[in-house]
A and B are shown apart, each in its own frame.
Chain A
Amino acid sequence: MTPFLRKLGAAPVSAWFGIVIVTLIALTAIFAPVLAPFPEFEVVGPQYSPWAAPHYLGTDALGRDVLSRLIYGARNTVGIALLTTALAFLIGASFGLLAATLGGWFDMVASRAVDVLMAIPSLIFALLILTITGTSVLSLILVIAVLDSTRVYRLSRAVAQGILTMDYVEVARMRGEGLFWIIRREVLPNSSAPLIAEFGLRFCFVFLFISALSFLGLGLQPPIADWGAMVRESARLISFADFSTWQTATFGLAPLLPAGAIALLTVSVNLIVDWVLHLASGLED
């Protein structure tokens, strides 16, 4: 742990900014029921009330508290994105590393299957599948995980192929080491840096993808609070807002809150990814 802490201490300001924001959002997601002043679904006030106590960020079209829904939204959107990314990595990296190490027909079949999946624009493909299967949280996670695993597959396969040409892998093969040992002990430690960086990026894409689907109405279904869906619900308000006084202007700012939250998290994750990449490329000095 000590070398890790030392690296953390030497991290640049941008990385620290990312770490702080991501930690705050993670804490918000975990302690949502404690932090939120009002319940997620209940109508607690009049429609479209301005930013004033007790509804510090106003209420939405049904009179639900926007602040509370933003806090619960962190839990739903971020949690599901994290789960989906993890699943995408499990599928993509396993197949990618296996395909690179085994080669032959396995590589051929897996790579062609991935090519087919990648040939179809992913948003349209996801819309198609979700229309057929219906929009449950489970099907949402599975569909996005499978679609995103194709990208992870390509990366991990390419990285592993580079590593497999090294003499130390040849030494392990000559020793008669098994497939699993070669992947776990020789390939994985050397491919971890690009894979971790990809995890950060992929998380952002998945997160945006869920938000996009929610915006189109095929993501998380109401009344579940979700940042993407919140942008969609309040998007129209911008054109109706009256920006002459502060009280009426807050009404038009409503869609910018979830949109800003999405942007902030995405940028923060990317700042951390940049730092991890920098560390991995050995450019610390």
Chain B
Amino acid sequence: MTDTSDLLLDIRDLVIEGRSGGTWQPIVKGIDLTLKRGEILGLIGESGAGKSTLGLAAMGYAKSGCRIAGGSIKLAGEELVGAPAETLRHLRGKRVAYVAQSAAAAFNPAYRLIRQYSEAPVKHGVMSRQEAERDAVQLYREMQLPNPEEIGFRYPHQVSGGQLQRAMTAMAMACRPDLIIFDEPTTALDVTTQIEVLAAIRKVVREHKTAAIYITHDLAVVAQMADRIKVLLKGDEIEEAETRQMLAHPREDYTKSLWAVREFRRAPRAPDDTGKPILTLQDVDASYGTLQVLDGINLSVNRGQTMAVVGESGSGKSTLARVIMGLLPPDKGSVRLDGKTLSPLNRHRDKGVQRRVQMIHQMADTALNPKHRIREVLGRPLEFFLGMKGAAKEARIRELLTMIELDPDTFIDRLPSELSGGQKQRVCIARALAAEPDFIICDEVTSALDQIVAEGILRLLDRLQREMGLTYLFITHDLATVRSIADWVVVMQKGQIVEQGAKDQVFQPPHHPYTELLLSSVPEMDTEWLDRVLNDRRAAG
């Protein structure tokens, strides 16, 4: 820090504790953080690293159940630790603003966007309501929102997720704060939407010379946004460096391992000798009420391979899974397993089919009954499909836990609430395996997990496929995942298959225009990537 007058945020030796089981445990363990005016700092690390807690501390805020136990937080020279609530209230929203991960949850659904925009400036006495509303239109335009004049008069549910996230950034800018904290603002968005939001956020933050703390677990994203990157692990700082420096020459092993996550690749697998597909869909149409979601889907999955289905939200990927599982009967067309047509409704299918086709859900949190212990979660399919009882069942449960790399003695009697996100997803995988299936549908199984944990799950799925000859239908919007594990790729858009083929063929040009858009939207570990893509697109049209 050469120029101290330029110093906006100065956090020294900050300790934040969280309450668990009646005692206070440190979450942030003595971290220093400095930020100059107009600078963007990226905070990265896996879940539980204390990123969000540290970000919120920059507002002098600790979540309920947490407390700031030591250290100092100075914003433009003013101490926030121990400051009266009145002082902090004047600060928040006016000089420091916060953009949350889920804009849908952060907006009040009962008020129009512009009304929520003007709340902070009016309350802080910066502007009158009329001025604030004129200002909102201006910022909506800067954020490249469509129809900036009238979009503010809509309710949160009437705009898309990417637009809502941009409206929220505009709202954070309302008082022209010195500092904005972005807490994973694009994690919940598709790649194609993410790129628009990233571009808009970066433009506005740069033009207004606002300092920002950008929290994410996606390295490629942070590479586009941040001037400096700080890596956190379990409440400790691992290292900090200028973005280019950090990307090119990470010092610590942990950082290197973060960088290496995206490099997991496996060799393509050949289909088995019979040459007959295990599952085929022929001319499948499906709809919810009058809304058609699938339109003439034809595909066949080879035994022992992984078929990846990619596309943005609303492309019909998950509906495809529901049709195969018999949860949504198709309007026309057929689903065949080993050449035999399956009944359109799951409850009319015989037990053998129900056993052979399993599905793993995206959210392991809601896919596990919170009142069932692991023993029961895994025991029930064993009992139900294979008639196992007593010691044989117990032995098999332990075997399954070993297979998913969880220690049976530690985990067998736990409840889902006593597991981490990755462990829950592993248990869901074990539950699917318990039925001894041939075909597993994985519906976005890694998208709710951070990259290191997600990679562990992918490696596990890959190993199980190799050992047991499983066939996967892998639904995802993440092309990095597709690159690592797919043999065959199906690209979907608006309920139709726009392109399909072997992985290498789909990833090699020439691409279908939509595939091209998807591919070019995947952030790369290169600080110039966003500029390059935006330039290319501008040039193209």
Contact = CB atoms under 8 A, between A and B. Distances in A.
Contacts of A171: 359, 361, 367, 431
Interface string B425-457: 000000100010000000000000000000000
Chain A, interface size category, equals 10 to 19
Contacts of A240: none
Interface stretch (A173-181, A242-250, A269-277): A173-181
A168 interface: yes
Given A174-B359, A285-B21, A168 B354 contact: no
A42 interface: no
Contacts of A166: 366-367, 369
B277 interface: no
A174 B367 CA distance: 12
Contacts of B349: 176
Contacts of B21: 285
A247 B373 CA distance: 64
B354 A174 contact: yes
A171 B385 CA distance: 14
A285 B24 CA distance: 11
Interface in B329-373: 346-347, 349, 351, 354, 358-359, 361, 363, 366-372
For chain B, give the interface size range.
20 to 34
Nearest to B431: A171
Interface in B285-311: none
A285 B19 CA distance: 8
Interface in B1-38: 19-22
Nearest to A169: B369
Contacts of B19: 285
Nearest to B359: A174
Contacts of B370: 190
Most B CB within 10 A of own CB, among A170, A186, A189, A190: A170
Nearest to B22: A285
Interface in B359-399: 359, 361, 363, 366-372, 380-381, 384-385
Contacts of B20: 285
Contact of B354 (A175, A186, A189, A190): A175
Given A175-B381, A177-B384, A167 B366 contact: yes
Given A167-B363, A285-B21, A285-B65, A173 B347 contact: yes
Contacts of B327: 170, 173-174
B151 interface: no
A176 B367 contact: no
Interface string A174-209: 111100000001100110000000000000000000
Nearest to A189: B371
Given A174-B354, A175-B354, A168 B384 contact: no
Given A176-B347, A285-B19, A285-B65, A189 B384 contact: no
Nearest to B351: A176
Given A175-B381, A176-B351, A177-B384, A190 B346 contact: no
Given A175-B381, A285-B21, A168 B325 contact: no
Contacts of A167: 361, 363, 366-367
A87 to B, nearest CB: 26
A138 to B, nearest CB: 37
B369 A176 contact: no
A171 B416 CA distance: 15
Contacts of B381: 175
B358 to A, nearest CB: 8
Given A175-B354, A177-B384, A168 B346 contact: no
A195 B435 CA distance: 34
A181 to B, nearest CB: 9
Nearest to A177: B384
A173, A176, A177 interface centre (most CB from chain B within 10 Å): A176
12 contacts: A166-B367, A167-B363, A167-B367, A171-B359, A171-B367, A173-B346, A174-B346, A174-B358, A175-B380, A176-B349, A177-B384, A189-B371
Given A166-B367, A176-B347, 12 more contacts: A167-B367, A170-B327, A171-B431, A173-B346, A173-B347, A174-B359, A175-B354, A175-B380, A175-B384, A185-B372, A189-B371, A190-B371
Interface of A: 166-168, 170-171, 173-177, 185-186, 189-190, 285
* 3 nearest A-B residue pairs (beta carbon): A189-B371, A167-B367, A168-B369
